[in-house]
Structures are given as structure tokens and as C-alpha cells.
Amino acid sequence: MTETFAFKAETKQLLHILIHSLYKDREVFLRELLSNASDALNRLRFEMLTNKDVLDAEAPLEIRITVDKDARTLTIRDTGIGMTRQEIIEHLGTIAQSGARRFLEAAQKNNFDTTGLIGQFGVGFYSVFMVAESVRVISRSYKPEAEAVSWLCRGDDIYQVEAAEKTTRGTEIKVVLKEDAAEFADEYRIKEIIRKHSDYIGFPIYVGTDEKPVNKQTSLWRTAKSEISETQYTDFYRQLTLDFEEPLVTTHFVTDAPVQLYALLYIPAKGERGMFSLRKEDGLKLYSRNILIDEYNKDLLPDYLRFVQGVVDSEDLPLNVSRETVQSSGLMPRLKKVLTGQVLKELETLAKNAPEKYANFWKEFGSYLKQGVAATPADADKLVPLLRFRTNLHPEVWSSLEEYTGRMKEGQKFVYYLLGEDPKSLVRSPHLEAFQAQGMEVLLLTEPIDPFLLMGLRKYKDFELKNAAQAEIETPSQAQEGQPEPEKIPESELAPLMERFKQVLGERVNEVRVSHRLAQSVARLVDPQDALNPELQRVYKFLGKEYEVPKKILELNAAHPILKGLLHLPADSELGTLVIEQIYDSALLVEGLHPDPSSMAPRLQKLIEAALGQR
């Protein structure tokens, strides 16, 4: 019985694009079919670890390709896991590959100009339609009771499924090539493509009647470094992730003690996983003796290194393991230790030998390492030297703590930092004025993760970290620098003025007092002694926990012309009230605490009118 199915709209669209594609590297279709065959063989091998009841249990795991020049056909057979009728409809009737779907999206965005897109995405099984007039897939599942099935598509919008004659396990894909694709019915050409794209497939690929496989068969990670080119490393990365950029760091290593492992790890160039990424989750691919055990293993690296991509293969993992028992085997912590050490060492080297590249890394992944310091104290020793900061004195570059302490003023006892929402408002913070005036360096911490970082980083070497907003520091008197000391408002006039502030601001402030730290700014807000510390306030805010912003103390600069100006206004003047309100709002704003900045607009307008009215 033949059943006819119509492809879904998106599959139709993909087929149309591929059939009419003029993509010059059409040969990648073979890579896709071979990668599917290899996946099928891998899955069979994995199944056989625990299940001996499979069809043709003794059959060798291999791929065979034959061509017929005259008939213009190419046939690929594998002895892999095969597909049942249900599976063939499910897997070949819809777009499985995320790369294919992304390709479609990108093609739509590009107005269907697909130049360069196909190679970029790896569109999976359907890429065969770049070269095929028709494709017949005949498959027999490894399940002994399953029947062979045939799937046929002639490049139109339908496919047909019917029973087939096939007594052996696996899948056979018979491609009738388009006239202009006759080159692929040539053994020599096929071998060339295999060597180029599929050399590392872990199963033998035989072409024609050759008795020797064409491919090397060792996976890339098991191949000696000296035999691998930069391009091969990058190609492998791209196939693994579909990230089109080159990886920032590639590290390939083998260890024998304390555990045996092969690892090929990459740090992507960008922190955000591209919208086209193939890797749907974090985690490394874990192989045991070349057999894929886990597609996304999250136990091989600490959480804070979850951006690392790649493959780990160990001879020490027992072969009869299921994915679950891998997690509980005592081997995992040892693998993790080795891998973590290697990645951190790699980063240390990068920071030392290629600071600019490291700065790029830091921009993309710095917050991960900060999370590591906070969440994994055991690794903090190694992570802290990798931290980088912007500072008030060097806002454009990334400084390490070592550099910071190297530049410290004589007698400086603390590493100062300031928390804020964004670097721009932070450099204008009144809390910085005293530091700025003394040429003292302050770390500017503006990432949401920073308060967490501080919880894990109380000290660097002998220096405690201290919040600059809370530090006891005075502005050096300007008289010392040969300038006239600006005159302060005398005590007798100051007291009623502060009273006026309290009256206007009422419950909004905890206290109004005079500050010794302000130079340019008229006021600043500080936390009362007993308040929840500012780091925790921000942690709560970040976690979305309900907490009340504690009432702050408003500190005034008693030498500031604005305050002097206020003295000249009548005690209850409306303008005075506006000015006081605005001073408070401006202070909230630079703290990043203003709940509704646009509400200041009407008041600012009144103040402008008043200013102009004086002329």
C-alpha cells in the first residue's frame, strides 16, 4: 500500500529553495548524508551496549557508497539504527534540523538570496535536493519485528511511503542526480569530497568495490595535534555549533593521569549564542571510547564555564554505562577537575600573552567568571587574577586587581569600589569627588552580577575591598593646593537651611546633614549606618525580591553656591521648594534610584522659567 503525504509549508519552501539553488558548494550534501549515517551508526552502537536483541547484531558498522555514471545515481548505505515506517514519516517528512529552520528564516530575511547561507547552516537531509532529481530512502529498523519501508520524493511537494524489500538492518539512500549534478556519480569526485569534509567520521566509508575505507576514521579529538590544521579545527567547531564566527580560543589536549581523556574545547567569540546556534543547551558532548554518551553533559565543567563548547572522550568511562550512571560514576568529578584546570590555564595564558584578545573574552564572558568567584569559592584563587575592571582613573581599559594594587597611593589601605547602574552616571557620582580630587582609583562596578561578586571577594591579597560611598575620606582642602578655600555658610545660617530641607523632603529622607566630601556636587545620598548594605540592596533588587529602598541621608555641600543662593530667598518661597526638590531628585538620579525620572520635567521647566525671568 502506497501512502502519499504532502509536505508542510515550511518543508515545501525549503525544498523549493534547495532545488533551485545555485549554491556553488553543493558537495556539502554528501557531508550531511554521511553525518546522518554516522549518527545512525552511533545510535545503534549505543543501543547495543545494553540491548543484544537487534537485527543483524553481527553486521559490521559501516557506510558504503556506490555510483552509476550511466544511470546518474548515487547510493549511500549504512548499517545503522534504521527507521520504522512511523519514524521515516516523522523524521523525513518534517524539518528536524534546527539548522534547516534557521536557514529558512535567514533566507526569508535575505529576500531569498541564499548565497552563502547553505554552507553556513548545514541544512541536513534536505540538502540532497540541491543535486537530486529524486530521492528514495529504504530503511529497516534495528528492531527485529519492524518491517522495511520506502520513502520517495521526486522533488515536488509530496512524498510517498510504502512497504519495501530490505532484509538487512540500516538505511539506503538512492539519489537520482540532476543532469547538472552528474559529477557526483563519479567515484573519484566522491572520494575527494569525503576526504575534504568527512575524514573524521568514526566508521569506515567504502566507495565502490574498494576494500579500504576512504576516510581516516579517527575522530578529530583523537588525532595528533600536529596533523590538524587551523581550518580543520575551525570547521569542526562550526559543524558542532553552527556558529559562523571563528572561536576565540581552541584547546585540544590529551591526558593519561589522573584520568584518561581526549578533549577538544572551544570558547566562542560571542557570549550570546547566535540565533542560529545548533547547540540548544549548554554542555559538552561526552564520548566514551568514541561512542557518544551524552549530547549535552553539564557535569564536566562548573556552571560558570558553561559557555565552553566541545567534545570530551574518555577511555576510563565504563562501556556499559547509561547516560544516568555516567552522572553518578566517581569519574565525573575527576574529569571535571582536569577540564576546569585546563580551561582556566588557557585563560591565564591568554590574559598574559594576548591581552587584547583577553579583553574581548572579558567583554563577552566576564560576568560568568564573576559568577564563579561568587558561587564557587574553591576556584576563586584561580578566578580572581582573571577578573578585569573599569576604574575612574582608567575608564577605557580593563584593569586587573594586580594592576590596581600596583597603582595604589602610598598608605592606601583598601581596594575601593563603587556600585552603580551604568558607567556614565557612575563617573559623575558625588561619591567619587573626593577620590577624584586625590587621584585615587576606584573600581566601577555596574553589572548586575557585581554585588554577588563582592560577596565572594571580600579581600584581594592584604587589601580589603571597601565601598567608596561609605569610605571615611575627606576632600583635600583646596587651600593646600594654593587655591582660596571656598567659603562655607556660617553655622547660624546653615541650621535653618537644613531645617527647610527636612521640612520639604519630610519622610523621604532619614536625615539631612553637612558633608565634608563634596566639592562640585551640591548634595549626595548616603545610607544610614544600620541600613542593609548597598551590595545586598542590589542583590535583592536583582533577584526581584521585595524590599524597601531604605531611607537615605541627604548630605549637603555647605560651600556650594546653590545653597548660598537659597539663603537669599524668602523662607517659604516656592522657588526654594522647587530647588530643594530638584536637588533631592538629582541625587536620586545619580544613584540610579529614581523611580520616575520624567516626572522631573515640569519642575525643571518651572526652574528654567524662573532663571530666565531674572534676566
Query: 441 touches which of Mg ion, ligand ADP, none (CB within 5 to 8 A by kind)?
Result: none
Choice from 21, 36, 114, 371 touching Mg ion (CB under 5 A): 36
Query: 312 touches which of Mg ion, ligand ADP, none (CB within 5 to 8 A by kind)?
Result: none
Enumerate binding residues for ligand ADP (CB under 6 A): 32, 36-37, 39-40, 78, 80-83, 91-92, 96-97, 124-125, 171
- Would you say 125 or 501 has its CB closer to Mg ion? 125
Query: 78 touches which of ligand ADP, Mg ion, none (CB within 5 to 8 A by kind)?
Result: ligand ADP
Give the range of 36-44, 67-75, 352-360, 537-545 binding Mg ion by CB under 5 A.
36-44
Q: What residues contact residue 337 under an 8 Å CB cut-off, 6+ apart?
A: none
Q: In terms of DSSP bridges, do strands 463-467 and 414-419 run parallel, antiparallel, or are they unpaired? A: parallel
Q: Shortest approach of ligand ADP to residue 12 CB, angstroms?
A: 15
Residue labelled with grid coordinates 545548533:
278
Q: Shortest approach of ligand ADP to residue 308 CB, angstroms?
A: 22
Contact status, residue 309 vs residue 237, Cβ threshold 8 Å: yes
Q: How far apart are CA 142 and CA 122, in angstroms?
A: 27
CA–CA distances in Å: residue 14 to residues 155, 156, 244 = 11, 11, 21
Q: How far apart are CA 517 and CA 436, in angstroms?
A: 11
Query: 37 touches which of Mg ion, ligand ADP, none (CB within 5 to 8 A by kind)?
Result: ligand ADP
Question: Around 173, how many Cα atoms within 13 Å sit in the side-chain half-sphere?
Answer: 25
171 binds Mg ion (CB under 5 A): no
Choice from 80, 124, 302, 372 touching Mg ion (CB under 5 A): 124
Q: How far apart are CA 101 and CA 124, in angstroms?
A: 10
DSSP states of 517-569: S-SS-SEEEE--TTSPPHHHHHHHHHHT---PPPPEEEEE-TT-HHHHHHHTS
Instruction: Give the count of residues interacting with Mg ion (CB under 5 A).
Output: 2
Q: Shortest approach of Mg ion to residue 214 CB, angstroms?
A: 20
Query: 119 touches which of Mg ion, ligand ADP, none (CB within 5 to 8 A by kind)?
Result: none
Contact status, residue 312 vs residue 336, Cβ threshold 8 Å: no
Q: Shortest approach of Mg ion to residue 278 CB, angstroms?
A: 10
Query: 40 touches which of Mg ion, ligand ADP, none (CB within 5 to 8 A by kind)?
Result: ligand ADP
Residue nearest to ligand ADP (CB): 124
Query: 283 touches which of Mg ion, ligand ADP, none (CB within 5 to 8 A by kind)?
Result: none
- Would you say 97 or 371 has its CB closer to ligand ADP? 97
Query: 59 touches which of ligand ADP, Mg ion, none (CB within 5 to 8 A by kind)?
Result: none
Q: Draw the binding track, 496-535, toward Mg ion (x: CB under 5 A; -: no contact).
A: ----------------------------------------
Q: How far apart are CA 489 and CA 433, in angstroms?
A: 20
Q: How far apart are CA 37 and CA 76, in angstroms?
A: 9
122 binds Mg ion (CB under 5 A): no
Give the range of 121-129, 399-407, 416-424, 458-466 binding Mg ion by CB under 5 A.
121-129
- Would you say 42 or 340 has its CB closer to Mg ion? 42
Q: In terms of DSSP bridges, do strands 3-6 and 390-391 run parallel, antiparallel, or are they unpaired? A: unpaired
Query: 420 touches which of ligand ADP, Mg ion, none (CB within 5 to 8 A by kind)?
Result: none
Whether the CA torsion 322, 277, 40, 83 is positive or negative: it is: positive
Q: Shortest approach of ligand ADP to residue 62 CB, angstroms?
A: 12
Strand partners, 3: 161
- Would you say 128 or 449 has its CB closer to ligand ADP? 128
Strand partners, 262: 254, 313
Contact status, residue 107 vs residue 126, Cβ threshold 8 Å: no
Residue labelled with grid coordinates 540592596:
537
Q: Shortest approach of ligand ADP to residue 78 CB, angstroms?
A: 5
User: Which residues of the chain form contacts with Mg ion (CB under 5 A)?
Assistant: 36, 124
